[in-house]
Structure 1
Amino acid sequence: MTTITTIRSTEEIADLIAEESASAAFEQAFVETIDGFRMSHADDETDVGLPLAREAELATELVIRTFFDLLRDTRLEAIADRLAWGIVHSLHKVTDQLDGEADKAARKVRDLIRDADGSEVLTAQLEDAQTICQSLDEAREAVACMRDHAAQTFAAETGRPWSAPRGSMVSNKRTAAVVSATDFLAARRQRRIDQHAPKGPIVIFSGGKVWEDSQLLWDRLDNIHMRVPMMVLATTAQDKGCDAIAAAWAASRKVPVIAFTLAKWRHLGDRAGFARNDAMLALNPVEALVCEGSGVQSQLARAIRGKGVPAHFFRLVDQHRVAR
């Protein structure tokens, strides 16, 4: 499991930076990928570096823990988790905003590639648009990493997971800049494809909206992950209860998630949940975990047994004790 170091004062940060290196997630997220960093046309280019990875990791944790330490044993202790939740949520919102801005910038690059005529003006515009897009991608990765670590710290303090409210052109006019931009977009698109169509053994997960014992599920998912290290988790994508717990676990363990929302099957009405079950089973899962919920979970459990998929079934009464 991920180890979270407790930081109690800003003075301790410098000592710990000297003693420890950043986690792999922060080392990867806080890598400078571009010179002349610039996130919008209104910004001046800058060559200053990113924050130190270890310093960012410790500071993120300190911000969350400070509220719990400040309010502990006071009449405001009961709202510490709300304040900490809001901090994680703000990082989550900024991550989404940067994601949208980066996608918009990528569309601008694509439009400029389409219109490229080899002129100096369009070449300069294309290089500028690519710089902005890559800068936004770099910023998004850093903020997303801080959000994930803040969510881990929140879970460590409260005993429950944090969850968000409510997921080439070919032309004889191509210049070197156009080739560079096209390659950049292709690499960016492939990264998105890998994120949204991950490859690996599928483990399906489903449960009801009412569930409290997150540790029970985390322990069992950790057990599966040890045996299936390249696993991809397919969930029913609810924002409360079991699915929220599974999503928090996956973020903590860097396990790819396929979120099966009901949108695609909404026209089926009451059959939508069962159609989603069929789609998940069509992935040929290597293992499954189902928690008691509604008739949708009951039907999925029967279908899993029918297919002979190795599975773990938890009932509501299994919470806060060792599952049978």
Structure 2
Amino acid sequence: MTELLDAIADTALEDVQTILAEALIGAFHSAAGRIERDADKARDRMRLLDRDFDGSEAADVELQEATAKARSGDAAQQAVEMIRDAASETWTVASGEVWTAWRGSRRGTFLSAAQIEAKLAIRAIRDARSESSQPGGPIVAFRGAPTADSPEDASRIFDALNWALRAWPDMALATTGAKGSEKLAIKWSRQKGVKLVLARADFDAHGKAAPFRANDELLALEPTCCLTLVKSLDESRAGQDRPFGPALNFAQRAMEAGLRHQPIKVRAA
């Protein structure tokens, strides 16, 4: 990643460095997924051989080979995920931007928090309810303005999330992954090792209504607490920054649903 950024610096490609960097990280993410699928096939083969094991030497050798292939696949997957996360961390340090997998879930390593799709989380909650049991941990949802990305905004977002983590140590953070304040929240989750649930806005499917449809997914997660930052807290932007409609909508709907809502405000003097 460092060599890529150095190679394109001060060239025409510098304007598209975000696309190139994310493509590099995404390539390792895709490779990890392919390796995982191959390892799953090896495990299926291993289970089949174990079920039909007849005690013969040939069957024993075949079972050992399938077991070794499954184990090597798991090791390779973990190694590629570590490379992916190292590239992601390097990109964040160099640019301040946070990479998130556009499709599928992202299993965490020692470098970062786990990431799962909101749809999968919603399904898990519904499955748990049908089994009369509770989901793994409380969800804290955050919706913020794309323009709220100043140092003051970052400080107050981190303060709010640190408060939430103290209140619910096993929390997961749910957000849409939009730029600005929500990217700052994702960066916090990476630093703290907090599980991330992404409800992305699907503009291809829903057009201009996509941010509000993403709110539907966040609310369907039944969050324990909803945090919002509807506009930048930076005084120099006062009068220039309008409240962010989707964040206002999320706050209103959360309160209408009887969910705990906490707006993020300027630090008291």
Q: What displacement does 1:218 show?
A: 8.3
Match of 1:182 in 2: none
Which structure is higher in RCO with an 8 Å CA cutoff and minimum separation 6?
2
Match of 1:289 in 2: 227
RMSD: 4.1
Tell me the percent identity.
29
Q: 5 Å matches for 1:295-310?
A: 297-306=247-256, 307-310=258-261
Alpha carbons of structure 1 residues 125 and 240: separation in structure 2 relative to 1, 3 Å: farther
Q: What displacement does 1:154 show?
A: 0.8
Distance of 2:65 and 2:159 partners within structure 1: 44
Instruction: Mark the runs of 5 or more structure 2 residues left unpaired by the alignment.
Output: 105-119, 125-134, 231-242
Instruction: Mark the runs of 5 or more structure 1 residues left unpaired by the alignment.
Output: 1-63, 168-194, 315-321
Alpha carbons of structure 1 residues 252 and 297: separation in structure 2 relative to 1, 3 Å: same
Match of 1:108 in 2: 45
* Alignment check: 8 A CA contact 1:109 1:130 kept: yes
* Alignment check: 8 A CA contact 1:304 1:311 kept: no
Larger gyration radius, structure 1 or structure 2: 1
Match of 2:36 in 1: 99
* Alignment check: 8 A CA contact 2:156 2:264 kept: no
Q: Which of 254, 259, 267 is the equivalent residue of 2:193?
A: 254
* Alignment check: 8 A CA contact 1:166 1:239 kept: no
Task: Provide, for residues 145-183 of structure 1, a one-character-per-residue CA deviation record: whole Å limited to 9, x for no partner.
Answer: 22122112212212221234452xxxxxxxxxxxxxxxx
* Alignment check: 8 A CA contact 2:139 2:221 kept: no
Distance of 1:96 and 1:212 partners within structure 2: 34
Distance of 1:153 and 1:212 partners within structure 2: 24
Match of 1:279 in 2: 220
Alpha carbons of structure 1 residues 101 and 252: separation in structure 2 relative to 1, 3 Å: farther
Q: 5 Å matches for 1:1-324?
A: 64-74=1-11, 76-165=13-102, 167=104, 199-206=136-143, 213=149, 216=153, 220-221=157-158, 223-225=160-162, 227=166, 228-236=168-176, 246-247=185-186, 249-260=188-199, 276-281=217-222, 285=224, 287-290=225-228, 297-306=247-256, 307-312=258-263
Q: What displacement does 1:220 show?
A: 2.0
Distance of 1:152 and 1:81 partners within structure 2: 14
Aligned length: 218
Distance of 2:157 and 2:195 partners within structure 1: 17
Distance of 2:200 and 2:15 partners within structure 1: 33
* Alignment check: 8 A CA contact 2:174 2:218 kept: no
Task: Determine helix, strand or coil for the equivalent of 2:140.
Answer: strand
TM score, norm. by length of structure 1: 0.52
Match of 2:237 in 1: none
* Alignment check: 8 A CA contact 2:143 2:228 kept: yes
